[in-house]
Structure 1
Amino acid sequence: MSSVEQHPEQRMAVPDYIDAARDSVPRSTFAIVPRSPSNVSEGWNHVTFEDVARAVDKMAHWIETTCGIAEQIGQTFGYMGANDLRYFVVFAASMKTGYIPLFTSPRNSLDGQISLVENTACTVFLTTSDTKTAVEAIQKAVPGLKVYCVPTSDEVFDYNQPIKRYPGRHRRDATAPTLILHTSGSTGLPKPIRLTVGGLNTMYAHGQLGPENGTERVCKILFTDPRPLIAPVPFFHAMGILIGLRPIMFWNPIVQLPAGKLLSADLVIDVIESVHPKLGQFSPSIIEDMAATERGLQALSKLDHLFFGGAPLAEEIGDKVCRLTKLTNTIGSTEVFMMDVLLPSVPEEWAFFNFGSASNVIMEAAEDDTYEMVIKPKDIKYQAIFYTFPGIQEWRTKDLFKRHPSKPHLWKYSGRRDDVIVLSNGEKFNPVQMEKTIESHPRIKGALVVGHGKFQAGLLIEPNAMQDANTDIPTLIDEIWPIVEKANQYAPGHARIYRSKVAVVSDQKAFIRAAKGSTVRQRTVEAFDEEIEAMYADEGYVSDPSQDTFSLSDMKTKINAIFSCSLPSFHENTTNDTDIFSLGVDSLDVLTLTKALKKAVPGANINLSTIYKNPTVNRLATALSQGTHSSDAVLAEPLTREEKLAAMVRKYTKGMVRPSWTNKAPPVKRPSKQTFILTGSTGGLGTHIIAQLLKNQDVEKIYCLNRSENAYDRQKEALTKYHNAEADLSKAEFLKTDFSIEKFGLSDESYARLLEEATVFIHNAWAVDFNLSLESYEETHIAGTCRTVNFALESHHDAPIVFISSIASVANWGNIAQDRSGVPESVTTLFDGSLTLPQGYAESKFVAAQILATASHRLGIRTAIVRAGQLAGPSTDAGGAAWNKREWLPTIVHTSKIFKKLPRNLGNMEQVDWVCMDTAAGTVIDIATATSSGHEATEVYNLVNPHTTTWSRLYPVIQTSLQETGVDVEIVDYDDWLNELASIPQTRENAERVPGLKLLDFYEGMRPDTGIGLPKLDTRRAEAVSRMLRDGQGIDEAVMRKWMTQWAF
């Protein structure tokens, strides 16, 4: 766009609007102002448009007398003063005298003020007595800068003397400069932003717009509703100017807060109770402070509309406030001014933006599932940015948003590209949601997540000074820890906050804040550099180096302290018998614990398996106290592995006898359509299964059982993003479950409904972690499988259980079998523990499958055991998310890019019989359908690709794809590749940087000399019931190219 078109609405400047109001509505109220600058109890005055117009003329004469008229139209002078109506008076009067005002924030650093003055050629600076000292500091630093104090507010609005109208020398064309504001300076010095007559007048154009698709616009209410608006905002800020345009352009009143009092929730409450405004535009921090008291909530409930902007509002607060008033999110910036946003259609959508068409917002895909807001020119009468920067073709806001999971026209703010923290391993995350969650705690004024370039995230806490100042830091951290844990739930695994990485800053040193109250991230990080470095230098628990032996009791105390310090989810009420892996502990956590334990128990040769095999405080303490210097301190195993597996099966089947009666209702006619229960629907396989079931005309209903509260949102987002933009979940119902509890943790009513309706039960949910012990799987997974048996026994339609097992449960076949034939799809293979890999995951699948087979035999329920091999990414033409980057093959590719070396073979896993995820899902559904109509008590199916290929056919595609990203990789033998990986020290920092370290033991097991690899699996029975598997294709070059594009390493 090379030039700015002149629109009729852009031909009036601010002084013209004020003069027009004086002529048309002289006695109407411009603003309601306090009689006292510090006490609302003294009453209020109504300042009229005639009063303001006279004040503008008076100020113009004063400027001409004091400073002289501008030597040329558009000459700059600065202004910094008390937060009262003089800002708008100075604004209009300066234009009349030919000047352009520069409004600067008192919060700017001196360097920032100097930069603004110099970059705008400002030679005169006006001020009030309140800010004179700050302006004189600028004067001392800028030679030749003249400083003058404007008349007091009482003098400006003194009506006893006649004032001659000032004609005005200002320009009125759309491109004429009218006001200079500035950026916040969050990434450096603040930069001046020159606003134009046409740019300001886009707000007048917005105020003339009617509803869109039956929904009213924010600007329409904000500007044209005649009832008083209270907006505790600084008038030097863009939002303050916008608020001033309400009376200037639309002749509707605002409420000015006492300029002599510090802004607080109590002050705002006093004003609401005194003046009774019906509209409000608040910062999130004020809303959050008000919502902390009953009186504040009462005040908020008196507003018909409450708008907020400038930063996210804590969700807990917003959910509470939206039930009291019409809560609406607004958005804008100094450059863009206010965006066209529609009011929420329902209160619960308060956190989302529904952008109107006038701003012409385009959402462009950014990192992960976020989108950057980009503004393209359309009708610039409504688009201030193209007056601010004429000639640009687009404006990239750097603001990131996430789409609503079920309403694609709604967008939720997710932070800025500048907010994104990049850890030392390249993992990225946006901390804004975490910070807002933590800041909702009444003890916290500010929360700042840090960690750029570090191996893990850290947290700076700024305590609330209004709270008890005598509380010691450990006690404060204890008090706020539950809200930190809640924030961790919103965060990806690599972004979680650990107790040892929380620092409480001194009350003598505050976070640096912008005028709108939000924390200026980069400047605050720089200001607290020493505190941050000290936090990362602290590795947590340190032991007395002189002590090298410990009693069992001492060891338990020590380990409990280390767990509490190192694990976000280990509470003070967590018992010493709690399996830490049931708390969500992952491989990075184990690395952290290993490092801490080595430091706390001098001389101990502790490795990762020590913790995996002893995952409770009591077991680990026993293991370590048995021999502090032991090379492999693990509990003695009185039973062989096969005996241990058999004992676990016996534990859950010894009382398995079909009762003479059950709670099952009398047999009923089987429905014509199927009702599925699906556990783990939000995972990779689960998402593909539900995507296909939703399209299946023979499926009436799908009950999705998941552990998370937000499973519906996650499912909708996954289906919308990867499968079908019009995904309809109307025949799916999502229930939060806990398989460690009877009836899956469901209410009696919900459980009874499942018993009555279900015709098939697909049990797919299982934690995949090759490091966990069998015992870590017992409480939820093994016991949970038994609960599926109880369910099937009482099911009204004899719902069969389709259990997704694993090839790992028979992976030892090649070492046991006399011949080299494939593993048969037979029930007998379910009962030989020697076939199972010696790892907790494989053993847990073996135990669960044997429990189900035993239940089939003794209780008569039907079961299908589906032993899945490697489930990979989607096929060439199918939708679906990428093969999980953290699994073994994608991790090899990622690590190879880092090494610039790619293995030409995969050790003992050269044969590629991987199954595309969509094919696997279709096969499971075919098996489920066949099982529900079959008569066999237990069916066994092997789910691998019958159409095999080799790695040597695929790695050239990976090599070419990496070269296209600018990385030339050398092709090496697998042993050479693995030796380089094994040479890297196993620290958390290295594991974050080189992802292959997390799976080192798994890769060691792939060496050619460690065995004969995974066995071949017979798939004839699976092919017989599933045409999708039978007629499918092997993994070829096209599929691998698709996966490389999806991974985007």
Structure 2
Amino acid sequence: MVLLSNHNVPTRLFDVMDACDTLQSPCTASSTNLTSFVLPPSDGSIAFPQLLDFHLENNPDYPYAVLVSLDDDPDENVTVTWAEVARASFRLAAKLRTLVKVSDEQRREGVRIAILANTDTLTYVTLIFSVFRAGFVAFPLSTRNSAAPALEHLIQTTNTAYVIGSIAAPGSAPTSLEETTATLLAHVPTLQLLEFPGYADLYPRLSMSPIPPYDAEHDAIHTPKLPSVESFPEYKDMTNQNVLMILHSSGSTGFHKAIPMTHRFLNFAFRSHGNSVTATRCCLLGLPVFHAMGIFVMVGLPATYGTTNVMFKPSSGHVIPSPEVVLRGSQRGRADYLLAAPSYCAEWSHHQESVKYLTTLKSLMYGGGPLAADVGDRLVREGVKVISVYGMTEVAQIFALKFDVDHPEDWSYSELHPSLRAEFVPEGDNLYRLIVIDTDNHPIAISNQTNVSAFDTKDLLEQHPTRRHLWKTMGRVDDLIVMSNREKTNPSPMESILNGNPHIRASMMFGSGRFQVGVAIEPAGHICSITNDESLAEFRNLIWPDVEKANTIAPQHSRIFKELILVIDPKGSSFTRTPKGSINRNSTLQQLADEIDALYAAAEQLGRKA
């Protein structure tokens, strides 16, 4: 790791593996049964960063992750134990404590270290563990749709002093992320760059071929013994209200907003999934670690309940996630649970071999958006256990994770988390806006209410018609389309149906202030080009059966007419998306404004001729 000043003059220090030469004696490890996991205390008596030490002592041989390769790899799967993760984190944490040069008073206020890096999942998670164990505040930044001004806003509003990332070497062409990082450093003079290590620096054996078994004794010799995190100045007078991590919002309604997460909040959030997942393998391949779900499942769950993550094996080239790649990785990693985007579930539902594999899972979980009813019903009929995962960065888990499903046909509904205290505000048509109340049993990260500590999610929920303890998500209040006659359209249920069509990658309805609603369609990848009226008409006819199906559940004023279907040329622009992959409606509407205006003008002209 190299410390770079804001003027980009590198000050090269010792390698991560040499950090032990300036510190204390090596850690020792004890052995434990591979099939058992010693649960750490859940009462907050051990600060989360100190759990690395706990697992090194109590669960050294327990698998933190199973690394899979998509190639015909002679090494097959590689297991990374808690001992290996803890020691890699200790070495980097020791290095960080030598690099960060601030006063004890500044340390007590919490040193913010941002992470802005395109790297493999294992390395990224180790960066987070290392920042924690060094006593600092980790701030993962999205590498998706992250323009320099938005990042600058986040850095300055959080008083972040350091960023782990990289800039291009002199004379080499920079990547877009390296350009963004360089711009960020130029605009924030107080920000210092820490060049992130590669996986070979943290886990040297993973760069060898064939990969040798983990040598715990050798690794221990090269690992410093860190003082307990509670002895650091950062933790002097620490309470559970101190900030441990910062995440940020998706930026769908403006600049990204920083969301500080206290020890109190994360002690709950990391344990909110329950111990039913202990000693199981979870697969979130394709989900970024900087997203809240990635943090909760890839950092929190393994440390608190002993889940084992299925990850892609680090390599010189990044694996580009796709439905096929994720499913193959899940199979090779022998996952028990697979969490995926609804679009991936829709793609798998069209292939019998994929569905056959999904039936072997304890659960296929989806989140981040609605799953088309046809898709979910089809999967359930084939025997797939489908579960809706619903939570928010600001409030953690909202739906309880219950894997013993009595009524699989109600796959889109779930119970509220048992510790959740909620207020439901009626919004009409059996829809309720959810407000989560801050309590000791279910704390929230931030409040957006003035008179009470609570968070208005702006999400719409619908209650099950007969099983009244069940709820399902039905979009957002912000997404409601208010037409010129003041009628309202909730786009979520209709878009969910359209997104189940194999020829549609994504759909987004529009029509605020108009006399009729329309829909923009982003064609699926196999649709090559739509360049003339003939190919447009052909594509509209291709998807029309599902448009009609969506119209059957819509009130009269919300029905879609063929003339108001805007098809995005696959060779041209696409919908803009938030860091978690959902459509950024405001940005996309602005991007398509001229095309939407032209569509309505053509429809109006056609109406006059009729």
Normalised by the length of structure 1, the TM-score is: 0.48
Amino acid at match of 1:496: R
Candidates 511, 517, 532, aligned match of 1:457:
517
In structure 1, the residue matched to 2:569 is: 506
What is the rounded CA distance, in whole Å, between the counterparts of 1:175 and 1:198 in structure 2?
Answer: 6
Contact 1:358–1:383 (8 Å) recurs in 2: no
1:16 to 24, 46, 50: 50
1:365 is aligned, of 426, 430, 436, to: 426
RMSD: 2.6
- 1:229 aligns to what? 282
Determine the C-alpha separation between the residues in 2 that align with 1:204 and 1:90. 18
CA 8–185 in structure 1, closer or farther in 2 if over 3 Å, else same? same
Residue type of the alignment partner of 1:52? V
Q: Distance in 1 between matches of 2:521 and 2:494?
A: 12
In the alignment, structure 1 residue 351 sits paired with structure 2 residue 419: no
Whether the aligned pair in 1 keeps the contact of 2:56 and 2:83 (CA below 8 Å) is yes
Residue in structure 2 matched with residue 476 of structure 1 by the alignment: 539
Q: Which residue, 252, 262, 279 being the options, matches 2:307?
A: 252
Residue number in structure 1 paired with 2:113: 77
**2:57 maps to amino acid:** D
1:860-875 matches, within 5 Å, as none
The aligned amino acid for 2:293 is M
Distance 1:39-1:56 versus aligned 2 partners, 3 A rule: farther
Residue of 333, 341, 364 corresponding to 2:392: 333
Corresponding residue number in structure 2 for 1:668: none
2:145 and 2:577 in contact (8 A); partners too: no
Q: Are the counterparts in 1 of residues 272 and 397 from structure 2 also a CA contact under 8 Å?
A: no
Cα distance change of structure 1 residues 482 and 416 upon mapping to structure 2, 3 Å threshold:
same
CA contact (8 A) 2:278 2:307 kept: yes
Distance in 1 of aligned mates of 2:601 and 2:75: 55
Task: Work out whether residues 199 and 387 of structure 1, in 8 Å CA contact, stay in contact via their aligned partners in 2.
Answer: no
Q: Which residue of structure 1 aligns with residue 367 of structure 2?
A: 309
Partner residue of 1:495?
558
Equivalents in 2 of 1:474, 1:340: separation in Å?
42
Contact 2:501–2:543 (CA<8 Å) still a contact in 1? yes
Deviation of 1:66 after TM superposition, in Å, equals: 3.6
Cα pair 1:11 1:198 within 8 Å, conserved: no
Distance of 1:166 and 1:313 partners within structure 2: 47
Match of 1:61 among 87, 94, 118: 94
Residue deviations 1:448-507 (CA, integer Å, cap 9, x gap):
101111121111111112334468222111111111111111211111111111111132
1:534 equivalent in alignment to 2:587: no
> Does residue 1:94 correspond to 2:131, yes or no?
yes
The structure-2 alpha-carbon separation of the partners of 1:462 and 1:365, relative to structure 1 and needing over 3 Å to count, comes to same
Q: Could you tell me which amino acid in structure 1 is paired with residue 165 of structure 2?
A: T
CA distance in 1, matches of 2:267, 2:595: 47
Number of aligned positions between the proteins: 525
Taking CA–CA contacts closer than 8 Å with sequence separation of 6 or more, which of the two structures ends up with the larger relative contact order? 2
Task: Find the aligned partners of 2:364 and 2:576 in 1 and give their Cα distance.
Answer: 27
Distance of aligned partners of 1:40 and 1:307 in 2 relative to their CA distance in 1, 3 Å threshold: farther
The 3-state SS of whatever aligns with 1:395 is strand
Structure 2 unaligned regions, length at least 5: 1-40, 168-174, 205-217
What secondary structure sits across from 2:272 in the alignment? helix
Contact 1:301 1:325 in 2 (8 A): yes
Verify the 8 A CA contact 2:50 2:133 in the aligned structure 1.
no
Cα displacement (A) at 1:366:
1.7
Shift in alpha-carbon separation, 1:537–1:155, aligned structure 2, 3 A: same
Once residues 193 and 526 of structure 2 are traced to their aligned partners in structure 1, the CA distance between those partners, rounded to angstroms, is: 37
Q: Distance in 2 between matches of 1:388 and 1:173?
A: 23
The secondary structure found in structure 1 opposite 2:428 is coil
Q: Distance in 2 between the 1:360 and 1:188 partners?
A: 29
**1:317-716 superposed matches below 5 A:** 317-323=375-381, 324-341=383-400, 343=402, 344-378=405-439, 380-385=440-445, 392-469=452-529, 472-507=535-570, 508-539=572-603, 592=607, 595-597=608-610
Counterpart Cα distance in 1 of 2:222 and 2:449: 42
Q: Does 1:276 align with 2:328?
A: no
Q: C-alpha separation between the residues in 1 aligned to 2:187 and 2:243?
A: 27
CA offsets 1:610-656 (integer angstroms, 9 cap, x no match) = xxxxxxxxxxxxxxxxxxxxxxxxxxxxxxxxxxxxxxxxxxxxxxx
Q: 3-state DSSP class of the match of 1:10?
A: coil
CA distance in 2, matches of 1:68, 1:203: 31
2:463, 2:472 within 8 Å by CA — same for their partners in 1? yes
Change beyond 3 A, Cα 1:368–1:485: same
Q: Residues 296 and 304 (structure 1 numbering): CA distance in 2 closer, same or farther, change over 3 Å?
A: same
2:479 maps to a residue whose letter is: D
CA distance in 2, matches of 1:340, 1:256: 25
1:163 Cα offset (Å): 1.0
Choose the corresponding residue for 2:159, options 99, 104, 121. 121
| Alpha-carbon separation, structure 2, partners of 1:514 and 1:56 | 30
What CA distance in whole angstroms lies between the structure 2 residues aligned with 1:40 and 1:364? 54
1:196 equivalent in structure 2:
262
Tell me if the contact between 1:11 and 1:173 (Cα under 8 Å) persists in the aligned partners.
Answer: no
Q: What is the CA distance between 1:52 and its match in structure 2? A: 0.9
Which residue is equivalent to 1:1029?
none
Does residue 1:45 correspond to 2:78, yes or no?
A: yes
2:344 matches 1:286: yes
Contact 1:205–1:381 under 8 Å retained in 2: no
Secondary structure in structure 2 of the residue aligned to 1:460: strand
Q: Please state how far the C-alpha of 1:533 moved relative to its aligned partner.
A: 1.6
1:12–1:197 CA contact under 8 A, matched in 2:
no
Residue matched to 1:147: 193
Over the matched positions of the two proteins, sequence identity in percent amounts to 26
Deviation at 1:39, TM superposition (A): 7.6
- Report the Cα distance in structure 2 between the residues aligned to 1:370 and 1:248, rounded to whole angstroms: 37
What secondary structure does 1:357 align onto?
coil
1:138 and 1:293, CA in 2 relative to 1: closer, same or farther beyond 3 A?
farther
1:389 to partner: Cα distance: 9.4
Give the distance between the partners of 2:448 and 2:84, measured in 1 at CA: 31
> Residues 58 and 511 of structure 1: is their aligned pair in 2 closer, same or farther, counting only changes over 3 Å?
same
How many angstroms apart in 2 are the aligned matches of 1:391 and 1:77? 33
Corresponding residue for 2:31? none
Matches within 5 A, 1:571-970: 592=607, 595-597=608-610
Q: CA, structure 1 residues 427+188, in 2 after alignment: closer, same or farther (shift >3 Å)?
A: same
Q: Contact 2:279/2:307 (CA < 8 Å) preserved in 1?
A: yes
- Alpha-carbon distance, 1:516 to partner: 2.7
Deviations 1:100-145 (A, max 9, x none): 1211111134132221112112232112688544423432443443
| 1:715-766, Cα deviation, whole Å (9 max, x unpaired) | xxxxxxxxxxxxxxxxxxxxxxxxxxxxxxxxxxxxxxxxxxxxxxxxxxxx
Q: Which has the higher helix share?
A: 1
Q: Which residue of 2 aligns with 1:817?
A: none
Whole-angstrom distance in 1 between the partners of 2:223 and 2:448: 35
Unaligned runs of 5+ in 1: 1-6, 208-218, 543-591, 598-1049
